[in-house]
Structure 1
Amino acid sequence: MSSPALPLLCCALALSLPAAAAPSDEAPAPRPTARSKLLLTAGVSSIDGAAGGGLTPWAVTGTQATEHEVGGTAFVTRAVVSDYALTVKGATVGIHDRVELSLARQDFDAGVVVPRTTLKLDIAGVKLKLAGDAVLNSDTWQPQVAVGLFYKHLDPGSAVGGVLDSVGAKRHGVEVYASATKLLLAQGVLLNGTLRATQANQNGLLGFGTTGDRRMRLQPEFSVAKLLRKDLAIGAEYRFKPDRLAFAGPAFKESDWKDVFVAWAPNKHLSFTLAWVDLGQIVGHERQRGTYLSIQAGL
């Protein structure tokens, strides 16, 4: 696949490789083998595949892999609102607690608008940690900071594709984001802020940009979580969305997304996230509210 994501993926892989050590007569220090991340501090799988909350990426790298390890997770998510349903499947690889690679597939049931129509959105992502450590710096004010990129490709089907062509929406696009995550371990509170540069309409499910507007727009996203105990957290998210298709009529108005969630991790290999979501208006249907369930398993 040739896309803007490939150079950054290659760069991220190169950065994740250990540097060559200078010759030494001393035996190398043993590397830890036990994964020591605290439960839930690596987040859960977002709908775009990256580790974070359900709606937005965080600066943490997914999986339980520490700085000397490579780990992987797989997830499945199902969101059902008043008139629509979304299924997401994906996987994430965490490399040395520095680089995260992710793949996700979104299947959006749009049958209420066009019978027997499912929008299919494929997402490849990469995230690179730049500074800080959410756990090790939890007693300071320094957050963990990361940057990331999503490459998204949409298969809208012929009927919806014709509508997207009429407004000049592209089938593929790139999103770039920066996230800062602060864990206040003593208080059991996690805070995250993400700034996303995007051309996407409805996260990419209605294409990218329009004939008269190809600009990347900056959209803030916020998350807060409270650790009730080491394996249980509650929280909320708010994700601002561009309203790029409003010129096509009130039916195409795009609303901000928000949720309230509870996440439970019985062990380091399994987590469950249940949320109430409010997606606002989607293609002429207002008050799209419902439930969200995500299951994540990892090594």
Structure 2
Amino acid sequence: MRRALLAGAALLCGSAHAAAGPNAPDMGKLLATGGVAQLEGAGGGGLTPWALITGYGSGASWGANAHATTVRTQDYALHTYGIAVGITDRVELSFARQEFSGSLAPLDHLKIKQDIAGVKLRVLGDAVYEQDSGLPQIAVGALVKKNKGVGGLGALGVTSVTQLGARDDGGIDFYVAATKIDLAHSLLWNGTVRFTKANQMGLLGFGGDRGNRLKPQFEASLAWLINRKWVAGVEYRMKPRNLGVDNEKDAYDAFVAWFPNKNLSLTAAYAVLGDITVFNPTNQRGLYLSAQAGF
């Protein structure tokens, strides 16, 4: 999956480069309008994908970036790293690897990895240049997820998320996102509806004893553009509740992002992720840090 995604990105980027001429990538978009790297690799906020296309390539160009993100709560850590490509400000391709680990018994040796390939298509509107229109920018997307198994629980005979009650170790999230940037009031808002059966983003598999169908989940972001280089905001993300062993709760955060230039962004947030499995029934909360570099 990863090789196929990268090959497709290379082919599409090559086509976009040829169309845009020798000066591509042109970095023609406004600073911060590509968003930051979302936890699953898509361009957007930390918790939810936006309708914005990643990178700074204009409609005649392309852009790309790499990111690394870490979230640490009382009992767990999540590390995500990946790449994303935006083509003609209309198509986005991404790949991310998530690595989840535990630090408190009985899950102090827990290790879970997940690969996520993403695609996003802008279908309507322009969040930046259509300031006189009430219509937001709208995009549709999909995140193809494959859980790589459970490590550290061999003594309990658990090596797969299906042994924890999940129906499958792979699945696809489908989403529709709407984003509007109001430059007159320095505000950005986003609403996303995700159709998913992923447990904890897929880290605990897909479906379970409480449900095994795609469920619509609402996600939202509101950001204040403090100035050209600083953005602060809040996010909220609903999550399905498919597993009896996981009292999954909705997640939310408050974040601040710094864009010193078009090649780098740094994001810090305080995130509340809710319970993660009945073995550590504590409301998990902690610091989110992310760095993204690209063009």
Same fold (TM > 0.5): yes
User: After TM superposition, which residue ranges in structure 1, 4 or more long, deviate above 6 angstroms?
Assistant: 28-33
Q: What is the alpha-carbon root mean square deviation over aligned residues? A: 2.7
Distance 2:262 2:286 in 1: 28
Q: Which residue of 2 aligns with 1:276?
A: 270
After the TM superposition, which residues 166-185 of structure 1 pair with which residues of structure 2 at under 5 Å, given as runs?
167-185=165-183
CA deviation digits over 1:81-125, x for unaligned, max 9? Answer: 111111000100011100000000000012434342211010000
Q: Which residue of 2 aligns with 1:287?
A: 283
CA deviation digits over 1:159-210, x for unaligned, max 9? Answer: 3435632524311000100000011011000000000000101110000012
Q: Which residue of 1 aligns with 2:48?
A: 56
| SS of corresponding position for 1:36 | coil
Q: Which residue of 2 aligns with 1:25?
A: none
Q: TM-score, structure 2 length as denominator?
A: 0.88
Q: Any unmatched runs of 5+ in structure 1?
A: 22-27
Distance 1:214 1:33 in 2: 43
Length, aligned pairs only: 283
Q: Which residue of 2 aligns with 1:298?
A: 294
Distance 1:60 1:163 in 2: 33
| SS of corresponding position for 1:279 | strand
CA shift in 2, pair 1:108/1:30, >3 Å? closer
| 1:298 partner amino acid | G
Q: Any unmatched runs of 5+ in structure 2?
A: none
2:148 maps to which of 155, 162, 179: 155
Distance 1:47 1:142 in 2: 27
Q: Is the 8 A contact 1:139 1:184 kept in 2?
A: no
Distance 1:166 1:229 in 2: 47
Q: TM-score, structure 1 length as denominator?
A: 0.87
Q: Which residue of 2 aligns with 1:230?
A: 228
Distance 1:199 1:116 in 2: 26
Q: Which has the larger radius of gyration?
A: 1
1:44 maps to which of 18, 36, 60: 36
Distance 1:274 1:33 in 2: 28
CA shift in 2, pair 1:185/1:203, >3 Å? same
| SS of corresponding position for 2:50 | coil
Q: Is residue 258 from structure 1 mapped to residue 252 from structure 2 by the alignment? A: yes
| 1:267 partner amino acid | N
